[in-house]
Amino acid sequence: MFKALVVDRSEEGIVSSEIRELENSHLPVDGNVTVAVEYSTVNYKDGLCITGNGGLVRNYPHIPGIDFAGTVEQSDDARYKAGDKVVLTGWRVGEAWWGGYAQKARVKADWLVPLPSGLSTKQAMAVGTAGFTAMLAVMALEDHGLKPDQGEVLVTGAAGGVGSVATSILAKLGYRVAGVTGRPDTADYLKDLGVSRIIPREELNETVKRPLESETWSGCVDAVGGAMLARVLGQMKYGASVSAVGLAGGAALPATVIPFLLRGVNLLGIDSVMQPFENRQRAWQRVVSDLPLGKLEKMIQHATLDDLPNLGSAILKGAVQGRVVVDVNG
């Protein structure tokens, strides 16, 4: 028996969630590795799955949780054996496949990554999909020529999960980081992470008629999308790049092609879900070397399975600061 947060939908279409006791036989039969889950986390996509929004979950009852870290309990794959510490992010686990909001999970070995040396399972989930995505975003900017001496790098949604980790990584690497936030009370938190300048969200939320503004940013990690991303594109320096990682501000992009044609701006799409194993290993190793673990600890708030329904709603409202680590055995 194991505990899990189970989301279900009534015949009337009402989605609800509760903690249930399940048998091992309930786990997906197509998986070939069973993991005793220790920690999970809360991402924007988790909020959608918990609340039934966004159409991500098609089959009920369902266990959400797009991330988890734990210990292999049983494996039919030679790459993993009982006792191995592993991490999982992406692969539509928690959406189309039962996820990490449970004390046990059964998944495909191809989806797992060995826990990087230097990280605990708790720290790995403090990073989670949000931090993994932030690392991929920074790596993409580097691959397109970004260097610390080129000027300020902008991080939108800086107090959120992706933004917090991206800010810490960029600051550690020597970049001057400008952070956008809609929450004035996060100023001290952001400065502690390494933000050198805080920009109120309303300054960038307003759509302007001109497709180009002053060249301001040497790079950007954008977790907001929508009108803010359109505005930022017109403020990028010549040849600069934006890593697009989120759509908290909307999926529509009310922009023109002018920044791309006249300034050679690059808009880089960052997908963390289907990344191949080699890229995952590289990104996790960069997390170990480039994310200050002391600052990671300051981003964390702790939770249990019982807290998840409220946290799922809160993260969709932008009311969750930093990273949430869920102790599924707590």
Distance of CA 87 to the CA centre of its chain: 14
Which residue blocks in 234-299 are alpha helix, DSSP H? 258-263, 277-290, 293-299
- The C-alpha atoms of residue 217 and residue 179 are separated, in whole angstroms, by 12
pLDDT at residue 320 is higher than 90 = yes
Share of the chain above pLDDT 90, in %: 97
125 falls in which pLDDT band (50, 70, 90)? very high
Q: Omega before 116 cis (within 30°)?
A: no
Alpha carbon distances (Å) from 265 to 134, 262, 272, 301: 20, 8, 22, 37
Closest to 175 measured CA to CA, from 206, 197, 205: 197
Q: Report the chain's mean pLDDT, rounded to a whole number.
A: 97
pLDDT tens across 152-163, in order? 999 999 999 999
- The C-alpha atoms of residue 74 and residue 143 are separated, in whole angstroms, by 39
Closest to 21 measured CA to CA, from 302, 327, 303, 305: 305
Residue type present at position 67: D
pLDDT tens across 95-121, in order? 999 999 999 999 999 999 999 999 999
CATH classification code of 2-115+294-327: 3.90.180.10
R_g of the chain computed on alpha carbons: 20
205 falls in which pLDDT band (50, 70, 90)? confident
HSE at residue 322, side-chain half, CA atoms within 13 A, is 21
- The mean-pLDDT minimum among 17-21, 72-76, 297-301 falls in 297-301
> Which is it for the CA torsion 266, 43, 15, 92, positive or negative?
positive
- The C-alpha atoms of residue 236 and residue 178 are separated, in whole angstroms, by 13
CB 123 within 8 A of CB 148: no
Domain ranges, ordered by start, for the chain: 2-115+294-327, 129-269
Partner residues linked to 15 by β-bridges: 9
pLDDT at residue 209 is higher than 80 = no
Distance of CA 13 to the CA centre of its chain: 28
- The C-alpha atoms of residue 292 and residue 46 are separated, in whole angstroms, by 25
pLDDT of residue 52: 95
pLDDT tens across 261-281, in order? 999 999 999 999 999 999 999
CATH classification code of 129-269: 3.40.50.720
